[in-house]
Amino acid sequence: MAVTSPRAATDTATRLISLLKERGRSLSSLLIVTHDHPDPDALASAWALALLAKKYCRSRVRIGYGGIIGRRENRMMIDSLGLPARPLRASDLEAPNLALVDTQPKFKNNPISARRRPTIIIDHHPKSSSTNADLLLIDESVGATCTMLAEALILSGFKVPARLATAIVYGIGSETQNLGREAGRRDIDAYLAFLPKASMKSLWRMANPPRPASFFHSLARGIRDAFIIRNIIGVHLRELPNADRVAQMADFLLSHEKMRWSIVTGRFDGRLHVSLRTSFANGEAGALLKSIMGSGRGGGHKMIAGGSIVVGQTAPEDKWRKAEETLVTEFLNNRGISNPNHRLFPFRD
């Protein structure tokens, strides 16, 4: 059941710690899985849960993920903090105890079968009707999943290493755009609790990593080919070296002073990835994207959403373009724009 009461922070943390104490040595081995192509919130959450499981249950913990970590900021987080996460192997999924963080089996953005019942699920996305676990902690009132884990660490009284404190601060900060997007009192309190323990140098390095030439090619295309219609800005980035560029460009384009929505697509690994952003606090971006994705997977929150559909690595160009245009047209129709061809391309020479 989702946690929604004013005592949510204490209740969530208490329930997690109670389960770990109850399981004890029976939880001697634990696989923690994030969503595919994990972001800082998912990675920090997994690391925090790993520490709690080791302390309470003496667990041998593995943190695994599907996909790749392509965004340079996220790669720098792994490298500079020594975060113990690795790509999942098929044999990892045979682990008897499984925890999912920042995702749910039904979301299809992780390699876990929807038929498997995890030991633990901790997430801040809306609950899928079929989601279940021995301990299910879903709290939509927080802006980041790692806020919930940070509260459990505080309640535990355990000494938190500076590297993990840095990861938590970066996880909350990146998920809420430095506490400016969908952040509440609990996110702020957790952020401030760990900020004095965090490494400012590491935080700076993660926020300002060296970027490859391909990043600037994507940025140039994102600006040059961006279209505008009313208060919506969007672009098709075409083929990309990693899926993270899509969300990155959606955030960037929404910074245009007159825009209230951004929609960006990009091709990676045979899938068409899409990110949707809005500056409306109650924009219901997640529900909107889910409604237009059809057979694809998608969802999110009020101001931020993402998803993907399979097109096929060997699909012809016209199939890719049809998929791109179908998504954008469905979105524009939802926003009351009946003629999606009335787009301006103001940044082309």
What are the pLDDT digits (tens) for 248-295?
A: 999 999 999 999 999 999 999 999 999 999 999 999 999 999 899 876
Burial class (CB in 10 A: 0-12, 13-18, 19+), 81: buried
The Cβ of residue 89 has, within 10 Å, a number of other Cβ atoms equal to 10
Alpha helices of 64-108 — where are they, by DSSP H?
A: 72-81
pLDDT tens digits along 303-313: 999 999 999 99
- Write out the two tokens for 266: 């990009």
Residue ranges, comma separated, of all CATH 3.10.310.30 domains in the chain are 213-334
Specify the pLDDT at position 227: 98
Helix boundaries (H) for the chain: 8-23, 40-57, 72-81, 145-156, 162-175, 185-194, 200-207, 213-224, 244-253, 285-292, 317-334
pTM of the entire structure?
0.88
In DSSP notation, 141-156 reads: TSS-HHHHHHHHHHHH
Per CATH, the number for 8-207 is 3.90.1640.10
CATH number of 213-334: 3.10.310.30
pLDDT at 205: 96
The residue-averaged pLDDT of 7-32 equals: 89
Note the pLDDT tens digit of each residue in 80-97.
999 999 999 989 998 999
Residue 8: the pLDDT is 63
Domain with CATH 3.90.1640.10 in the chain: 8-207
What is the mean pLDDT of the segment spanning 182-207?
A: 96
Please report, rounded to a whole number, the percentage of residues in the chain having pLDDT higher than 90. 83
Question: Which pair of structure tokens corresponds to residue 314?
Answer: 């060997």
Q: Is the pLDDT of residue 193 over 60?
A: yes
pLDDT in tens, 196-218: 999 999 999 999 999 999 999 99
